[in-house]
Each structure stands twice: as structure tokens, then as C-alpha cells.
Homo-oligomer: A and B are copies of this chain.
Amino acid sequence: MEKPARNWASKREQKAQTMKKIEHLLDGKYVPTEAIIEVLETVIQPGDKVVLEGDNQKQASFLSKSLEQVNTDKVNQLHMIMSSISRPEHLTIFEKGIAAKIDFSYAGAQSTRVAQMIEDGTMKLGDIHTYLELYGRLFVDLIPNVVLVAADKADKQGNLYTGYNTEETPTIVEAAAFKDGIVIVQVNEVVDELPRVDIPSDWIDIVVLADQPYQLEALFTRDPQNITELQILMAMMALKGIYAEHEVQSLNHGIGFNTAAIELLLPTYGETLGIKGKVAKNWVLNPHPTMIPAIESGWVESIHSFGGEVGMEKYIAARPDVFFVGKDGTMRSNRALSQTAGQYAVDMFIGSTLQLDYEGNSSTVTKGRLSGFGGAPNMGHNPGGRRHSTPAWQSLRDEKDPLGKGQKLVVQMVETYSSNKKPVFVETLDALDVQKQAGLANAPVMIYSDDTTHIVTEEGIAYLYKATSKEQKQAAIAAIGGVTPLGMTSTKESLDELRAAGIVKLPEDLGIKRSDAKRSLLAAQTVDDLIEWSDGLYQPPMKFRTWS
């Protein structure tokens, strides 16, 4: 037995030394707002792995703005880990040399700039992840040295209230707090008594009162005014041909007008189908305002949320039977648990996409934009680790295979031509070009054909899971491809065959008249209507208000 001498607490000792260096700035766990740059320059070492909380909605904006201002002689070459690249300074830190490498999940508004910076070498890409795999790596091979997070309130001891927009804060903090990393949190407010403690002060090293509240984006609000009759037609087909057909009890809706239309049809068209109380009961979902009429009409048993949505605070607080709300009366979100539930515990994921190839692979990465994955692939795949069954899951079982099991419904809803007049069906995904451009190991496919069970267009539904060959799958997509190049390859003979086999259903096969798809079917036609449904509890942000 040869044992090299080794210090087994090197990270702990380094942390103690680092904290000693800012001792003169600390009052308990607090540092003065104006001292934050000095604090960051002292506690962050060159090359450190740093998690900067850029959530889907909540941004640690005070800390990111401060990080942008550090002296690059002191802080440089950082390896950033961020679930969302959202703010300009998230990229400026790379231009300045403060950071060198990035591992991320989602780039959203910064996706063009991210692609550019990777191409020109300003930013070295670790990899692009889904949320859950990025969280997983925080405990495996991307263990952070420093984490910079945001909370609503802290008490004098440094206990945190993260409340409504808890999102991923506890997950990030846990990875650092239990591996001798340094946890720095910006708070909007310091109070004597918290509404409730969400994260214990024992997990926190440094608290700083931010100069202004953290940035929070309303990402999940869709104004019913902008829902088209084509989207209403597709929503009717989805409700009858998928929700009712498969008895979908639990589900996630992606962001977008297609699914917003479904939400607003539940209390109207859905009611006429007689499926209330049988389908769409248990949701994993951000609090979409367009869910209000369905909730008020008694469709919804429960909603667990990844994060919050601006304006929904009071409404949610008044509906604790539906939402996850703490003793103090405010919502608790949790992105890691909600993604886990969305992967393993729901019958269906339904969302939109920007491109689908002829086999049914889809991507939201289009030329020059490296938008990343977010959480959609966690929910939009058939979870190989799932073992329990539900009616919807079981309805997709291959009965000929004695070891067969059910399958998750993964549904893509697209109009055959996108808003920029380009066909949504393409021979080759732009993702392949972006892969080369950014030097990615694999093409950034959002949802693979193998996982996609249904595609809905304004022409009909393709039940892809019933196709027995690649060719039949492509024919089914072509059959609902309208006048796109792919759609034009479909023949009447092929369509008839596919309809006879139940692989394709047109509106008439579902007993739906195109002329019935009217805006008057929407339970709410404006944001005002949503407010009214909510008894005035929903308070939309200014940009969604049409009145002065």
C-alpha cells in the first residue's frame, strides 16, 4: 500500500483563505453594495468555474453587471456555466477576457452573437446542454468554484426567500455549498423576517443588496388577440385527435400560440367533447396566463412550475388548490424538480418548432443562430428509464412485443409555412450547417424523429408512431405537408392508404369542419378577457396592456 501524502481539504482551505481576504468588508454575511466589484475580484480566481444565474426568467443582473466591471488582471479566463445566456454583459465578459469558456443550455435573444463569438474564437464552447444535464454536471465534472445567484429577500442572518421565481437557485447553490465553493447571492431586499425560508443561511457565504431588483422576463405570456383561425383549427384537431383519443391526463405545453390556442379552447370546444375531468388534469408548466379560463372552468387539478410568470403572482396566490404555494401564500417553483416531473411523470409533451426534416427530426437552430436546447429535449423524448404506465402511455404500446412497453406522446404542432413564408419542412436542417460553423460534436437537434409520435399541421395529424417504415413516416409527413415541396410529393393514393391505416387523419376524419375554427371559440380573445376571467387578479405587464 503506497499512499502519496496529500491535503484532502485543499478546497476548504483555499475558501477559508479567500474569505479571510474580504473579512474587512463583511458584516455577518453581508458586503456593501458598492464593494461588490472588490469582492468579486478577491474571491474569483483566474480560470475558476463560475455559475452565473441566468435563468429562463430570473437574471442575477446586479452580479452580472458587476462581473463585467472587474479588473481583468485579477479575474480572467473564467469557465462560465450558465443555463441561459440572456443579457449583453453575459457576452461582454468574453470580449473583455474575463471569461474564456462557456457551458450553457439556452441562448435566446443572444443566439446570433453567441454563434458569431464561437466562430471567431472569442468564446470557447464547452458544450450545449439541456437543463437537467447541465444541473447533473454541477455534481460530476462541472463542480463550480463560485456561484452568483439571485434571491428576492434575505434576513439579517442570510437566510433566503426565493419564492415565486425559485427556478434553479437551490440546485446551483447546493452544488457549491457542499463542495467548498463560494456562494454569492444578490437580493432585492433585506428584511427582519422572511415570508418563509427557501434556502438556509448555512448554505450561503456572501449576501449583497442589489442596486435594483433582479431582471425578470415575462416569457410565457401570449396575447389571445394574436391567435389565428389556422391555429384554432390545429388546436381543435389536437384536442380531438390526440388529447381525447389517447386520454392524455398529464402534460406539458411548450411556449407559443399553437398551445395557447389549445389552452383557450378547453372550456369551449373541449367542453363539447365531453373530456373535462378525464384529460389535461395534471400539468407541468410555467403559469401561462392563457391557462386562466381552463383553471377557472375546473379543468385543471394541478400545475407544477419551472418558474413564475410576471403578472400571475396574485392569481396564483389565490389558487393554492391548483398551484404549488407555500404556507406564506406565495408560489414555489423549482426548475430541476419540474423538469424531472416533465420528463418522467407526464403523458405528453406538445410544442412547436422552426424546422422539421422529412423524417421528422426538428430543430429551432436556424442559420447563424445558436439558440441551444433549454428544457424541451428533457420533456420531448421517450424516457427510456420510465417503468410505470398510464392510459395514454400504454395506448402507444406495441402489443406484438411481449417485452413492449408504452411510450410518451411527443407532439409537434407546426403550420406548413412559417411566419417568414418559408416551408417548415426542409430536406436538411440548418442545424447541420450550424454544427460545422460552431464545431459541435453533433448536430443540435431539438427533438429526434424517433421520439416524435405525432405531427399536427393545418392539414391534419400524422400519427408517426404507427408508421412501420422510414418511407411510410415520410409519406405521412408529406400527406399533411400542404403545398410545401415535401407536401407536393404526396399523392391521393398515398393519402388514401395512410388514412385507411389511421396513420393520417384530416379534419374531416375527425369530424371537424374547417369553417368551425373561429376566433369566437376562444374562451378569452384578449388580455382583458384573461383579467376578467381571473377576477382582476392577473396583472399583466405594461407591454401586454392595450389600454392606457
A residues with a Cβ closer than 8 A to B are 1-4, 6-12, 103, 126-130, 132-133, 135-137, 139-141, 143, 159, 171, 174, 177-180, 196-203, 249-250, 281-282, 284, 293, 296-298, 301-302, 304, 318-322, 324-328, 332, 334, 336-338, 340-346, 357, 361, 373, 377-389, 394, 397, 402-406, 429, 432, 441-445, 448, 450-451, 523, 529, 532-533
Q: Are B320 and A11 in contact (CB under 8 A)?
A: yes
Contact A385 B196 (CB under 8 A): no
| Complex interface: chain B residues within 8 A of A302 (CB) | 140-141, 143, 179
CB atoms of A334 and B174 under 8 A apart: yes
**Residue pair A381, B385 in contact (C-beta under 8 Å):** yes
How many copies the complex holds: the figure is 2
Asked if residues B441 and A406 are in contact (CB atoms below 8 Å), the reply is yes
Q: When the two chains form their complex, are residues A3 and B139 in contact, meaning their CB atoms are under 8 A apart?
A: no
Across the interface, do B130 and A385 meet the contact criterion of CB distance under 8 Å?
Answer: yes
Please indicate the chain B residues that have their CB under 8 angstroms from the CB of A196 in the complex.
200, 202-203
Chain B nearest Cβ from A203, distance in angstroms: 8
| Structural contact, B321 and A389, CB atoms closer than 8 A | no
Contact B387 A377 (CB under 8 A): yes
Between A and B, 25 residue pairs with Cβ closer than 8 Å are: A1-B523, A1-B532, A127-B388, A129-B388, A132-B344, A133-B345, A133-B383, A133-B386, A137-B344, A140-B341, A141-B281, A141-B282, A141-B302, A180-B321, A180-B325, A199-B200, A202-B327, A336-B336, A336-B337, A373-B387, A377-B386, A381-B384, A389-B442, A403-B432, A405-B442
Most buried by B among A179, A346, A432: A179
A446 nearest in chain B by CB position: B387
Let me know if B140 and A403 touch, CB within 8 A: no
Distance in angstroms between the alpha carbons of A130 and B383 in the assembled complex: 11
Which residues of B lie under 8 Å from residue A137 when comparing CB positions?
Answer: 341, 344-345, 388
Contact B385 A377 (CB under 8 A): yes
Closest Cβ of chain B to A520, distance in Å, is 13
Contact between B197 and A387 (Cβ–Cβ < 8 Å)? no
The answer on a CB contact under 8 Å between A136 and B1 is no
Q: Count chain B CB atoms within 10 A of each CB in A139, A284, A406 and give the residue with the most.
A: A139
One of B200, B326, B397, B442 near A159 (C-beta < 8 A): B200
A178-B325, A404-B442, A406-B442 known; A346-B140 Cβ under 8 A:
yes
Taking the closest CB of chain B, its distance from the CB of A464, in whole angstroms, is 15
**Interchain CA distance A2-B276 in the complex, whole Å:** 15
- Find A3's partner among B296, B389, B450 (CB 8 Å cutoff): B296
A322 to B178, Cβ gap below 8 A? no
Please, which residues of chain B bring their CB within 8 A of the CB of A321?
7-12, 180
Select one of B385, B394, B450 contacting A133, CB under 8 A: B385
